[in-house]
């Protein structure tokens, strides 16, 4: 199914919720809407679903305009942050409801419900009521019902946000297997860059009501077109350092010159971007060393995010594994000049680390 948004915008009274944007999510694949709260993700999804009418622009499905066509006349499945189920129906009937509405034969409904319940590990709860289940199980029921509908367009608005992280990890993996097995066009909103990367597919980065960039997820991550995209699509934040063009490279605060071949026509003032993962404790040949003092080491369980005050400013480094650093301990971080991003004065990308073999979405 090809969904197309043409210059779609939304204003409510004096406030702009969405600036006019055009987007055609790749059919049969997952498109992640990535952005902080208030970026406009939900507003955009409501327009895609037909719950809201855009103030400007057109919504097309397979080339036919559907702007203004109400949600019940469209074939869309939705999953929300809150676990929404029919409280008086059993889990079985909840999952079966879209199939019953579709008038499917009983035997087929039975088979489909059991199949989906098995995939989402809720088959033992089929005779229970939703209220008897945990939050994670209730959300599995809502997901199974949305999948049962087998709609050509499936919209998920931060479906895992209210779950514990281990449960989130598990369900995200199951969902992405289900998405790639089906042929629905899926749009999935999240505030977490890590979730977008784990889901893969395509990503549309949104910020303050604007669509900033759309493309294959890994490509958008590795080549953000602007500082705004880089900021929205990094966790921990990309380290940004103000620099000036100098002979043979870019001069950093403190006087150090980073050797770089700057593309011609660059402004004199530039911003260097260094991803936390590009900073290492260990030295390699050709590295630049940045000496500093540890402010805090945050440990995620798989990585240590160490915040270090250096002459070029405060930097965050992502070191794989668990490492303990005392507050105030000295620490040198190392990076290779080929790993930096360069943005011009207006924030547009000038230079990104060279692409290696990329994973296709």
Partner 1 sequence: MSRIDLDLAHSYKPNPKDDSDYALLPLKMSFEDGGAYALLGPSGCGKTTMLNIMSGLLVPSHGTVKFDGQDMTRATPQQRNIAQVFQFPVIYDTMTVAENLAFPLKNRRVPADQIKVRVGQIAEMLEMSHQLDMRAAGLSADQKQKISLGRGLVRPDVSAVLFDEPLTVIDPHLKWQLRRKLKQIHHELKLTLIYVTHDQVEALTFADQVVVMTRGKVVQLGTPDALFERPAHTFVGHFIGSPGMNLVEVTAQAGQLRFGALALAAPRELPEGALRLGIRPEYLELAPEGAPGTLPGRVTRVQDIGTYLLVTVDAAGQAVKARLAPDAQLPAVGDAVGLQVLGDHTCYYKNEELVS
**Which is closer to partner 1, CB of 114 or CB of 336?**
336
Q: Which of 182, 277, 337, 347 binds partner 1 (CB under 8 A)?
A: 277
Chosen residue from 20, 275, 331, 341 binding partner 1 by CB under 8 A: 275
**Total site size for partner 1, rule CB under 8 A:** 36
Burial class (CB in 10 A: 0-12, 13-18, 19+), 60: middle
Cβ at position 219, least distance to partner 1 in Å: 9
Q: Which of 307, 315, 331, 341 binds partner 1 (CB under 8 A)?
A: 307
Q: Which two tokens stand for residue 331?
A: 């620490």
Angstrom distances, CA of residue 270 to CA of 153, 204, 316: 42, 26, 20
Q: Which of 95, 98, 90, 84 shows the shortest CA–CA distance to 119? A: 95
Binding residue for partner 1 (CB under 8 A) from 62, 88, 100, 165? 165
SS3 of 320, please? Answer: strand
Beta carbon of residue 343, minimum distance to partner 1 (angstroms, whole number): 18
Q: Which is nearer to partner 1, 43 or 318 (CB)?
A: 318
194 contributes a contact to partner 1 by CB under 8 A = yes
What is the Cα–Cα distance from 106 to 144, expressed in whole angstroms?
18
200 touching partner 1, by CB under 8 A: yes
Among residues 34, 45, 48, 276, the one that binds partner 1 under rule CB under 8 A: 276
- Any idea which residue has 């991803």 for tokens? 275
Rounded Cα gap, residues 283 and 309, in angstroms: 19
Residue that the structure tokens 């004199």 belong to: 268
β-sheet bridge partners, residue 16: 11
Task: Give me the residues that bind partner 1 (CB under 8 A), please.
Answer: 164-166, 169, 193-194, 197-198, 200, 217-218, 221-222, 275-277, 295-302, 307, 318, 320-324, 327, 356-359
């Amino acid at each position: 199914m090809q969904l197309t948004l043409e210059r779609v915008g939304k204003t409510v009274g004096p406030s702009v919720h969405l600036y006019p944007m055009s987007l055609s999510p790749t059919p049969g694949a997952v498109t992640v809407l990535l952005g902080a709260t208030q970026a406009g993700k939900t507003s955009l999804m409501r327009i895609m679903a037909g719950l809201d009418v855009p103030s400007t622009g057109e919504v097309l499905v397979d080339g036919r305009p559907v702007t203004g066509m109400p949600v019940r006349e469209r074939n869309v499945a939705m999953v929300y942050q809150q676990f929404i189920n029919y409280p008086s129906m059993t889990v079985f009937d909840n999952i079966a409801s879209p199939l019953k509405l579709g008038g499917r034969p009983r035997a087929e409904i039975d088979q489909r419900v059991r199949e989906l319940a098995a995939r989402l590990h809720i088959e033992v709860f089929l005779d229970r009521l939703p209220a008897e289940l945990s939050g994670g199980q209730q959300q599995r029921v809502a997901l199974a019902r949305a999948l049962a509908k087998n709609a050509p367009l499936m919209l998920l608005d931060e479906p895992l946000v209210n779950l514990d992280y281990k449960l989130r990890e598990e369900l995200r993996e199951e969902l992405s297997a289900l998405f790639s097995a089906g042929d629905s066009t899926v749009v999935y909103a999240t505030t977490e860059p890590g979730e977008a990367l784990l889901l893969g597919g395509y990503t549309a980065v949104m910020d303050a009501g604007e669509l900033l960039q759309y493309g294959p997820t890994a490509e958008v991550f590795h080549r953000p077109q602007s500082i705004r995209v880089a900021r929205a699509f990094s966790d921990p934040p990309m380290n940004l350092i103000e620099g000036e063009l100098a002979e043979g490279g870019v001069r950093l605060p403190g006087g150090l010159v980073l050797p770089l071949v700057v593309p011609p026509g660059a402004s004199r003032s530039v911003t260097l971007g260094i991803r936390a993962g590009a900073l290492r404790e260990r030295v390699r040949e050709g590295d630049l060393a940045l000496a500093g003092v540890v402010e805090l080491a945050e440990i995620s369980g798989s990585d240590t995010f160490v915040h270090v005050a250096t002459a070029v400013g405060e930097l965050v480094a992502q070191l794989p594994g668990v490492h303990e650093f005392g507050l105030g301990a000295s620490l040198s971080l190392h990076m290779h000049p080929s790993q930096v991003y360069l943005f011009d004065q207006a924030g547009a990308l000038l230079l990104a680390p060279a692409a290696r073999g990329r994973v296709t979405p």
